[in-house]
Chain A
């Protein structure tokens, strides 16, 4: 229980630190990504001694990651005016492009790996 709380607090702490760094130094990168890199660096410096306290809290956050996207994805409802011929073909082109590239990269990389499943 204590490791959960400690882990959650430390992860939130690094998020706030990342936000602070963004405001002061790196306005073009989101604070969450700065926090991620900072926590990673601290993990590498302190190793297992620190990681075992954070592990469970971090895993808890990751297991609910999809939930945290929901308020943003629901925001799609503000764009009903994009339901037009232009809007639909614009979206269709971008979707097809994304899926084509995803398919291409996945297949090419997999075949290059020589069929080994370990990657």
Chain B
């Protein structure tokens, strides 16, 4: 039942989005709000919802695997910009940790919240695993990564338009480095080249962060 509802709500949201073309109407965002409202109003729990919708969640795995196609399609261009992408993703990851977790550590906040904050821009499944390894709060990490991803997917394109960011490389790296796979899916809508850059960028994040986070965790403790 919830499986069908999710698909119907999503397709409706996508239809509205295509008609209106407003960033805040991003289907993943509106669908989430609509479904939460319906679940809460019907007095059901997330467990009841997930029991039926888990098949959609399962398909996320193969969908991530499918991202290897645009990576392959643009492999020569990605290879050419490889050093630049890795360099900027590293800068973005360091800045993200400094402006998030280090600012937070100035306040009397318990250690596991600070570790949780460090993981905010990593793709959700990896972030959950890293939270378990470094002493973050896995369930809180899941929600923060999801929200940061959605926020980036909605606000990112607004930033690009407002500041006239036209380079596909800049759009892809900034999106992939901060809004991981959810942001990538937003870029894929319009252009699979910037989507491929974004895919590579969120992969690089998952390789760079395990080098940054343990050092900071050690230094702060």
Please give the residue numbers on chain A whose beta carbons come within 8 Å of chain B beta carbons, in ascending order. 8, 11-12, 14-15, 18-19, 27-33, 35-37, 39-40, 43-44, 51, 54-55, 57-59, 61-79, 82, 90-91, 93-110, 113, 115-119
Cβ 8 A contact of A36, one of B67, B144, B194: B67
Cα of A119 to Cα of B172 in the assembled complex, Å? 10
Cα of A55 to Cα of B73 in the assembled complex, Å? 10
Nearest chain B CB to A74's CB is how many angstroms away?
5
Given A11-B65, A67-B7, A107-B163, does the pair A102, B143 have CB atoms closer than 8 Å?
no
Q: What are the residues of chain B within 8 A of A28 when measuring CB–CB?
A: 129-130, 133, 210
B146 touches A36 (CB 8 A): no
A32 touches B69 (CB 8 A): no
A119 touches B57 (CB 8 A): no
A74 touches B96 (CB 8 A): no
Given A93-B104, A94-B117, A119-B81, does the pair A62, B63 have CB atoms closer than 8 Å?
yes
Cβ 8 A contact of B92, one of A29, A54, A67, A105: A105
Nearest chain B CB to A29's CB is how many angstroms away?
7
Nearest chain A CB to B201's CB is how many angstroms away?
10
Q: What are the residues of chain B within 8 A of A30 when measuring CB–CB?
A: 64, 123, 125-126, 129
Cβ 8 A contact of B28, one of A73, A79, A109: A73
Cα of A65 to Cα of B19 in the assembled complex, Å? 20
Q: What are the residues of chain B within 8 A of A75 when measuring CB–CB?
A: 46, 50, 142-143, 146
Cα of A30 to Cα of B88 in the assembled complex, Å? 24
The residue of chain A having its C-beta at the shortest distance from the C-beta of B182 within the complex is A69
Given A55-B69, A91-B144, A109-B170, does the pair A102, B152 have CB atoms closer than 8 Å?
yes
A71 touches B151 (CB 8 A): no
B220 interface residue per 8 A CB criterion: no
Q: What are the residues of chain A within 8 A of B144 when measuring CB–CB?
A: 91, 94
Nearest chain B CB to A7's CB is how many angstroms away?
8
Cβ 8 A contact of B175, one of A29, A65, A102: A102
B6 touches A70 (CB 8 A): yes
Given A33-B206, A71-B56, A94-B100, does the pair A105, B88 have CB atoms closer than 8 Å?
yes
Give 6 CB contacts A-B under 8 Å: A15-B61, A70-B10, A71-B49, A76-B143, A103-B174, A107-B165
